Structure 1
Amino acid sequence: MAETSNTQHVLKSQANWNALYFYQKSDVIYQLAFAFCDRFIHLYKDRTRDQVIQAARSCKQNIVEGLADGVASTEMQLKLLNVARASLKELREDFEDYIKSRHLQFFVSGEPRYADMLNYCRYHNRLSDYEPFFAQWTDEQMCNYAITLCHFIDRMMMSFLKKLEQEFITEGGIKERMHRARTGYRQQQDERLKQLEAELPRLKQALAEAQAEAAKWKAAFEDLKQRALKMYYEKEEEIKRLKEQLGEENL
């Protein structure tokens, strides 16, 4: 059956996470965390290295998995995106602990460097915007930029989650969509059946009229055929008679 404008869909449209700013920033934070650990955290002597990298990866990957699962399940999407937020908070805490434990400084409001950092993180989302600085920034700078990116990602994700929450409230989850789709399909079938049943008497009447008209034309054809044959045989007989007369005269 052809799809109509009233057709209910069970699966939602796939979100393009590469176009979402919070995903783009999560990719930045993962690569930044990796570069930070390579430069400033010892490979074997500090477990923080693995924790930082895993937390950053968990944030990015759970965003991808959550948005992919959102095609079928809003509930699973909400859960996985919240896992991503939890990993993000863990990552932010690790960077804050690094600053505190090494007696570095947090960039604070009112400082020129804080305003520059805030504006840069607000308006730049792509890895290519940050990667050139990974080998230049000090550990203090990398931590502060990472913390700021974490705040922006979390804020953006909260806005996205509120939107999903509203969609879930108004549209329901996979079970509700399946029920609506099935009910809608049955209603379309019932309406089509009623339409066909209503059309059937008219079609029967039209068929009867067509058959009567065909019978009338058939009778007319038979009559015309008989008259044509009669005329043909009469002419044929006349021709034969004339030929016989002409033959007798020639003798």
Structure 2
Amino acid sequence: MTDPEPLIPKHGGYRRLKSFQVSQLVYDVTVRFCNQYVDKRSRTHDQMVQAARSGVQNIAEGSAASATSKKTELKLTQVARASLEELKLDFEDFLRHRGHELLDPQHPALRRFKTLQPKTLHEVQAWVAEERRQATEAQGLSRTLTDRQEVVHSSFPVRGRPCLTTLSSACLAANAALSLLNLACYLLDRQVAKLAADFENEGGFTERLYRVRTSRRNQQR
């Protein structure tokens, strides 16, 4: 015999959602990023932080409301998704306006970032520092090799040294945030699709109330 359907099912387990965990990391990264690279007196600073916060808060609020309103959960989860999309545009604008590179998803630095799968702000900061260190060392090695070649071939004109582009900390941090945002948006898209399917197949609180009351009447006969 199956257990009767509860009128108020388990709800509010948003902290276990991968979408919430990634969005919370996005918020932490955004706050740190804005405090370092965006004028605190500007509207952009406030808007970016609030968009990141909206992503986190609406996931939590939607999960908490799911007990009595699947419609509200679906709506708030979609609001969270929209807020993070807005934040993506802000980070892209930052890169474009500052002349920084928007890295391709297959860029070696981003591939290392994805492999790392950071869970905390400290891990993201450590990745930025490590990428900067490796780039600086590679640049120094290239200059040393070039200097040696110039000594050996000093009788020949030097047409120029190889130029290695070292990504700035701001560029790396913004691209890391965008990578996390892409993941969060992907997870929220899947979450919204599942919520929509569940609502279509099972209905919301009203339908559940009807099923529970009908089941109780049948048991009392």
- Residue 131 and residue 182 in structure 1: after superposition, are their counterparts in 2 closer, same or farther (change >3 A)? farther
Cα 1:168/1:43, change in 2 over 3 Å: same
Say if 2:110 and 2:176, in contact at 8 Å, map to a contact too. Answer: no
Structure 1 counterpart SS, 2:88? helix
Shift of 1:54: 0.2
Distance 1:187 1:128 in 2: 57
Whether 1:165 aligns to 2:199 is no
> 1:11, CA displacement in angstroms?
1.7
Q: Number of residues paired by the alignment?
A: 184
Q: 1:131: Cα distance to partner?
A: 5.3
| Distance in 2 between residues matched to 1:89 and 1:162, nearest whole Å | 17
Q: Does the CA contact (< 8 Å) of 2:124 and 2:176 recur in 1?
A: no
Q: 1:6 to 1:114 in 2, by over 3 A?
A: closer
Q: Higher helix fraction: Structure 1 or Structure 2?
A: 1
**What is the CA-CA distance between 1:25 and the residue it aligns to?**
0.8
Would you say 1:11 and 2:8 are equivalent positions? Answer: yes
Distance 2:19 2:120 in 1: 10
Indicate if the aligned counterparts of 1:15 and 1:67 stay in contact, CA closer than 8 A. yes
Shift of residue 114, structure 1, vs aligned partner:
2.8
Higher relative contact order (CA 8 A, sep 6+): 2
Report the counterpart of residue 111 of structure 2 in structure 1.
Answer: 115
The structural deviation recorded for 1:128 is: 5.2
TM-score normalised over the length of structure 1: 0.68
Moved >6 Å (runs of 4+): 134-137
Distance 2:93 2:53 in 1: 19
Deviation at 1:163, TM superposition (A): 1.7
Aligned residue number for residue 213 of structure 2? 182
Structure 1 residues without counterparts, runs of 5 or longer: 191-251
2:173 aligns with 142
* 1:153 alignment counterpart: 184
Q: Counterpart amino acid of 1:178?
A: L
Give the Cα separation in 2 of the matches to 1:126 and 1:70. 28
- 1:53 lines up with 2:49 in the alignment: yes
Kindly indicate whether the alpha-carbon contact (under 8 Å) linking 2:22 and 2:180 is maintained by their aligned counterparts in 1: yes
1:144-192: CA deviation from partner (whole Å, max 9, x where unpaired)? 01111111001111112222222112211010000111111111111xx
1:36-47 superposed matches below 5 A: 36-44=33-41, 46-47=42-43
Deviations 1:189-218 (A, max 9, x none): 11xxxxxxxxxxxxxxxxxxxxxxxxxxxx
> 2 CA distance for matches of 1:134 and 1:119?
14
Partner of 2:145: none
Q: What are structure 2's unaligned runs of at least 5 residues?
A: 133-167
TM-score (norm 2): 0.77
Task: Tell me, yes or no, if the aligned pair for 1:37 and 1:49 is still in contact at 8 Å.
Answer: yes
